[in-house]
Chain A
């Protein structure tokens, strides 16, 4: 389960923020996760609960914002929305597309006290 590795990466980033901003603890963690990426939000939330123990983010609320998938259809010369990889272009039903958005994995903001 690579979501645990991602959570540990998040905790590292949070500790870096703590070192530069000097807060006591984190109440809320906001992350952006792309719909076309390889992260399962449910597994991420589960891993975060375990991974944040004994860290400044222990008991923090994890908010996951899903970034919708967008791809450039080379046949339509147009940017289209796709729900997941392997889905056809909604206009031409073709698959000649380049993913433009939806692979994000960003720690967006923290609410700290």
Chain B
């Protein structure tokens, strides 16, 4: 509900079939700062108890952002490229990660921080490749935050390599929480809808690279890869795209090249 005038649920958008995005008329109701101070009087329930106004002007995520900045500085000084892998549940993050670790073992020093609400199943899959992995269970939490990464990283004793952070499978919440990573990498599988970037724009907007996963399944699906890429670029014109299949190995070399370029960039600007 809108706390200014009690107009209720103006974020809820009801769009009829065929009305398209122009049908979002409920969204028109907004309050700017100016309207607020000029036209919305403070209703005081008890006039005798007149409140004092304190100007705060602080970012609500300020604490997370400060820890993320600390993590970022730490990663830089330790020669670490940190990547935050985000996707919906079941997009194939862990499978692709396991394949990547196998491909690069012996070439690169790597470590993984796994985020899930429950179980250590994913960390177990990672450790089976010989790469050190820490599982962070967020319990009821729907995303990793910078403090969890700080705590986990201290236990990894890791430097000069690539740190993969596999976030909780969720296309909403991880968008807002900077972990100190160099890049977010979003994984979108071809078994999902082409409109995922439009439905969950913040995560696609925050990512440097989109990996289109499970492309070996394309012959069996009615999935328009070009539409997915066009939608991703609607919310993020600069996003890089690589199509991959962990099963056939298609595109994995390109992904490895991207990793190499990202490492070189991180080293050059450290």
Interface of A toward B, CB cutoff 8 Å: 1-2, 5-6, 9-10, 12-13, 17, 21, 23, 27-28, 30-32, 35-42, 45, 61-68, 74, 83-88, 95-97, 99, 105-113
Contacts and interface: CB of A to CB of B under 8 A. Distances in A.
A110 B27 CA distance: 27
16 contacts: A1-B173, A2-B173, A2-B177, A10-B60, A28-B42, A28-B51, A41-B1, A41-B11, A65-B33, A83-B27, A97-B237, A105-B59, A107-B56, A107-B57, A108-B57, A111-B54
Interface string B235-257: 10100000000000000000000
A83 B1 CA distance: 18
Contact of B176 (A37, A68, A113): A37
B63 to A, nearest CB: 6
A107 B54 contact: no
B64 interface: yes
Contacts of B57: 106-109
B51 A31 contact: no
A64 B62 contact: no
Contacts of B60: 6, 9-10, 13, 31, 105-107
A88 to B, nearest CB: 8
B104 interface: no
B134 to A, nearest CB: 21
Given A83-B24, A99-B205, A113-B51, A65 B198 contact: no
A39 B61 CA distance: 12
Given A2-B143, A32-B33, A64 B4 contact: yes
A105 B61 contact: yes
Contact of A109 (B55, B172, B234): B55
Contacts of A32: 33
Nearest to A32: B33
A43 to B, nearest CB: 9
Given A21-B54, A113-B52, A6 B61 contact: yes
B53 A109 contact: yes
Nearest to B200: A38
Nearest to B170: A2
A86 B197 CA distance: 8
Given A85-B235, A86-B197, A109-B53, A13 B173 contact: no
B29 to A, nearest CB: 9
